[in-house]
A and B are shown apart, each in its own frame.
Chain A
Amino acid sequence: MTAEHSRRDPLAIDFCGMDFATPLVLLSGCVGFGEEYTRVAGFSNRDVGAVCLKGTTGQARLGNLPHRVYETPMGMLNAIGLQNPGVDKVVDEILPTLDFDETRFIANVSGSTIEEYIAVTRRFDDSPVDAIEINISCPNVKEGGVAFGNDPDMSARVVAACRQVTQKPLITKLSPNQTDIAENARRCIEAGTDAFAVINTLMGMAIDAESREAVIGNNQGGLSGPAIKPIALLKVHQVYQVARPHGVPIIGQGGVTSPSDALEFLIAGASAVGVGTALFYDPLICKKINQGIRDYLDRHGLASVGQLTGSLTLNTPRACG
């Protein structure tokens, strides 16, 4: 712990050179372009370290046909289809309306080709956003439609290409829908990522037995919420092993709904913790999570939340007998 830290609010962290008021980050796709939740009395963007804006592409996208969201046991499926007004409108019309003194705003970049990722990242580089998160879970339409993020080579190519066009902190959002997330993370670090977001949603499906139809308009959708938390914790732990030696921090996410969930992600290796689906349950959840973390730090005599990152004690696995 630095002397600087000890004078600061115990919840404050430094993330890639950005000051986060708390380790909480509102997740992309759950909070529109940053203003939507402020409709709720008592909600404030000041309660979180950063807000990730909705996934943005080169051109406007109308997104998928309904139904786009559906509750599943302890979670939900979504297939929004990246509805967004396109990067020019986001930069020219939406960013000027945001209050940058309330929190840090992180752009979330998507594309169907590497060229699109580059173009969108370049446009955000020349904008007031504090950092750029690249969502590599999108299908690569030029090369067979496999998601960039499911293949370490393609992931690294996207990261390297975006790195070329921005000096802002670059956060790579890793997909859990792949065999070796740690290898992918290693390649992304080589390609120049500054941080990771772990994990994006897992692909799933819902079926209405009566009508024998797929419920989601897009047939398949991303699973989020408490159902994915154990998977997310393991992935954060695995990526942390690779990222720690390089000082590359992680925004842990997937099913955080309580202070204890947030603490678990920090302990697994995250420096910041994402909150998405839980907002749909309780829009005022962040205040409660912040308070819960504060109480925990007090109880454990810790001066800063940063001390928790990677503080996990592992068992020594062995077969019995």
Chain B
Amino acid sequence: MHKPHRGTIYVEDAKVLAHEAFAGEQYIMRVQAPRCAEKAQPGSFAHLQCDPMLPMRRPLSIMRTDPRAGWVEFLYKAVGEGTRLLSRRKLGETISVMGPIGKPFQPHGDRPLTLLLGGGVGIPPMVFLASSLRSNPVYQPLVIMGSEVPFPFKPRPSEILVPGMPEGVIATMPLLEDWGVACRLTSGAGFPGCHEGYVTDLARLWLDTLSEEKRRQVEIFACGPHPMLAACARLAEQYRIPCQVSLEEFMACAVGGCAGCVVEVKTDQGPAMKRVCVDGPVFDAKTVF
């Protein structure tokens, strides 16, 4: 019997190549994990052993990969014991990385206006998705990122014009700017060049400037805290735009074996409990909100 799922997740002893700290206990870590780098897709995550003293792994989204150089990059916030131990891992140390895991985002070619919404540590999969969309001329991605703590990069004024953006909302993520991907930032903390408010507020302003016909070409992709995803789902429903969200739940195995990471999903046969690790982490927003 053909079993395409077999051998698709790799366990690698990954050397830490770079590990940088940012404000708000945020970290960007690059590790050498060539097999994971080769197979990861936007939305995939990896299950990492933060420290040998803490045997249970922690799930982190993959932000960037370089399949040729064989590295994978994560952006995470130290929130508890595991992520705090992870933040102490030094260059040259090895970390057991298991990945790539999960069903990725699936953009539909008939909706080229891809709207990517990332909040806080929900930014990583949006960066990955943007990097893959930019290599396909069909898509015109617009990324909106929000953070209440300083962004884990130095925002700079964008030279990419985004019609429909309010006056003065010009700050962008330099990496995306260099890729030629349109991006704008939002925050309630009053950072210069950022829209004052939530990602969904700015997304709504932009959507309101689109014609009905243009709106039918939009698809939303979102990752971030639960209330933000709920707001994204409402926005998408209101504007009748399809929306894919990446969810989080506590995990043990991360390969579908323990049914520990489930969320309730609406299906044609009624409610079902689906595993975030292998049935997700990306779900159709209208089935989970």
Chain A contact residues, CB within 8 Å of chain B: 29-32, 35-42, 54, 62-63, 66-71, 74, 76, 78, 80, 83, 97, 99, 225-226, 257, 277, 279-284
In the bound complex, how far is the Cα of B253 from the Cα of A31, in angstroms? 9
Interchain nearest-CB distance for B47 vs A (Å) = 9
Flag if B271 contacts A80 (CB, 8 Å). Answer: no
Q: Which of A40, A66, A277, A283 sits near B262, CB closer than 8 Å?
A: A66
**Known A-B contacts A41-B7, A83-B273; A280 and B258 likewise in contact (beta carbons under 8 Å):** yes
Q: Which of A37, A40, A80, A282 contacts B96 (CB 8 A)?
A: A282
Partner of B11, one of A41, A70, A80: A41
**Bound complex: CA A36 to CA B5 (Å):** 9
- Cβ–Cβ < 8 Å partners of B8 in chain A: 39, 41
Contacts known (A39-B5, A40-B11); A78 close to B260, Cβ less than 8 A: yes
Q: Check A69–B250 contact: CB distance below 8 A.
A: yes
Task: Identify whether the interface residues of A are mostly helix, strand, loop, or mixed.
Answer: loop
A74–B5 Cα distance when bound, in Å, is 31
In the bound complex, what is the Cα–Cα distance between A78 and B57 (angstroms)? 15
Query: Hey, which chain A residues are within 8 Å of B273, CB to CB?
Result: 62-63, 83
Contacts A76-B56, A282-B96; is A37 near B257 (CB within 8 Å)? yes
Closest 7 CB pairs of A and B: A69-B260, A36-B257, A71-B56, A281-B55, A36-B256, A41-B7, A69-B252
- A38 and B5 within 8 A (CB): yes
7 A-B pairs, CB-CB below 8 angstroms?
A: A30-B253, A41-B7, A66-B263, A68-B262, A69-B258, A97-B1, A281-B55
Verify B55–A66 contact, CB threshold 8 A: no
Question: What is the distance, in angstroms, from B151's C-beta to the closest C-beta of chain A?
Answer: 26
Q: How far is the CB of B254 from chain A (nearest CB, A)?
A: 8
In the complex, the answer to whether A39 meets B7 with C-beta atoms within 8 Å is yes
> B278 in the interface, Cβ–Cβ < 8 Å?
yes
A204 to chain B, nearest CB (A): 15
For residue A71, which residues in chain B have a CB less than 8 angstroms away from its CB?
Answer: 54, 56, 82
Closest-by-CB residue of A relative to B6 is: A38
Report chain A residues within 8 Å CB of B259: 29, 32, 54, 63, 68, 80, 83
Identify which of A54, A66, A225, A277 gathers the most chain B CB atoms within 10 Å of its CB.
Answer: A66
Query: CA of A284 to CA of B12 in the docked complex: distance in angstroms?
Result: 11
Given contacts A78-B252, A83-B259, A283-B11, 20 further A-B contacts (CB under 8 A): A36-B255, A38-B6, A39-B5, A39-B6, A39-B8, A39-B256, A41-B9, A62-B272, A66-B249, A67-B250, A68-B260, A71-B54, A71-B56, A97-B1, A257-B55, A279-B257, A280-B55, A280-B56, A281-B57, A283-B255
Bound-state CA distance A137–B9 (Å) is 33
Report Cα–Cα, A226/B54, bound state, in Å. 12
For B82, the closest partner residue in chain A by CB is: A71
Q: Which residues of B contact A83 (CB under 8 A)?
A: 259, 262, 273
Partner of A69, one of B98, B251, B255: B251
Among residues of A, the one whose C-beta sits closest to the C-beta of B12 is A41
Contact in complex: A41, B96 (CB < 8 Å): no
Contacts of B236 in A (CB 8 A): none
B261 near A32: Cβ-Cβ < 8 Å:
no
Minimum C-beta distance from A97 to chain B (A): 6
Residues in A whose Cβ lies below 8 Å from that of B98: 40, 283
Query: Are A68 and B261 touching (Cβ within 8 A)?
Result: yes
Contact: A66 with B1, CB < 8 Å?
no
Assuming the contacts A37-B255, A71-B54, A281-B55, asked whether A62 and B271 have C-beta atoms less than 8 A apart, the reply is: yes
For B49, list chain A residues within 8 Å (CB).
281
Q: Which residue of B lies closest to A32 (CB)?
A: B257
Residues from chain B with Cβ under 8 Å of A42 in the complex: 7, 11
- Cβ–Cβ contact A284 & B11, under 8 A: yes
Chain B 1-45 residues near chain A, CB threshold 8 A: 1, 3, 5-11, 35
Chain B contacts for A69, CB-based, 8 A: 250-252, 258, 260-261
> Contact between B5 and A40 (Cβ–Cβ < 8 Å)?
no
List of A residues within 8 angstroms of B258 by Cβ: 29-30, 32, 69, 78, 80, 280
Q: Which residues of B contact A66 (CB under 8 A)?
A: 249-250, 261-263
With A80-B258, A281-B57 as known contacts, state yes or no: A40 contacts B9, CB within 8 Å.
Answer: yes
Give Cα A29–Cα B259 distance, bound, in whole angstroms: 8
Kindly list chain B residues whose C-beta atoms are within 8 Å of the C-beta of A36. 253, 255-257, 278
With both beta carbons as reference points, the residue of chain B lying nearest to A61 in the complex is identified as B273
Instruction: Name the residue in B6, B49, B54, B271 with the highest tally of chain A Cβ atoms < 10 Å from its Cβ.
Output: B6
**Min CB distance, B267 to chain A, in Å?**
12
What chain B residues lie within 8 Å of A29 (beta carbons)?
A: 258-259
B-chain residues with CB within 8 Å of residue A280 when the two chains form the complex: 55-57, 252-253, 258
Closest residue on chain B to residue A63 by CB atoms: B273
- On chain B, the residues within 8 Å of A277 by CB distance are 252
Would you call A41 and B10 a contact (CB within 8 A)?
yes
A38-B261 in contact given A32-B256, A63-B273, A76-B56 (Cβ < 8 Å): no
Interface 0/1 of B126-139, CB less than 8 Å to A: 00000000000000
